Amino acid sequence: MKRQRNSRQRQMILDAVMSRSDHPTADQIYMDVRARDEKVSRGTVYRNLGILSEDGEITEVKVPAANRYDFRQSLHYHLFCTSCEKVFDAPLDYESKYDAEMEQKTGFKISRHRMIFEGLCPECGSKDKNEKKV
């Protein structure tokens, strides 16, 4: 019954990702799962996040700080705040024409491209201004 236990834990980890829309880190997911079942180890959470990403159940978002996990499976771009390290969905459509154009130009079989906009989020941006005023 080992397999069943694994899939129960995996479901719990998936639920934890699904319940957050703030692109949590693996550690944040671990804390959420841990609150529900203290027997779950950090290794189990990390391993299952990897499996869920490979299966396409969730999306791994690679940003300059720790990787994030996204319950959205559709292709989209992200904004990354270099100050508070929060990740947001970018309000821009995924441009599949770039993939097609790149295939044509290079002969690569393109599966996707990733785009991360870096800068200060509105909150950190206004904090910065306030500090300068003082």
For Zn ion, the binding residues (CB under 5 A) are 70, 81, 83-84, 89, 121, 124
Which CB atom, from 9 or from 52, has the smaller least distance to Zn ion? Answer: 52
Beta-strand ranges (E) seen in 20-106 are: 59-61, 68-70, 78-81, 87-89
Which CB atom, from 33 or from 121, has the smaller least distance to Zn ion? Answer: 121
Q: How far is the CB of 23 from Zn ion (least distance, A)?
A: 6
Which CB atom, from 57 or from 89, has the smaller least distance to Zn ion? Answer: 89
CB neighbour list of residue 61: distance below 8 Å, 6 or more residues apart: 23, 67, 68, 69, 70, 78, 87
- Residue 70's nearest CA partner among 62, 131, 12, 132 is 62
Q: Which residue has the tokens 């791994």?
A: 60
Q: How far is the CB of 43 from Zn ion (least distance, A)?
A: 25
Q: How far is the CB of 84 from Zn ion (least distance, A)?
A: 3
Q: How far is the CB of 122 from Zn ion (least distance, A)?
A: 8
Which CB atom, from 27 or from 128, has the smaller least distance to Zn ion? Answer: 128
In one-letter notation, the amino acid at residue 86 is K
Identify the DSSP state of 18: H
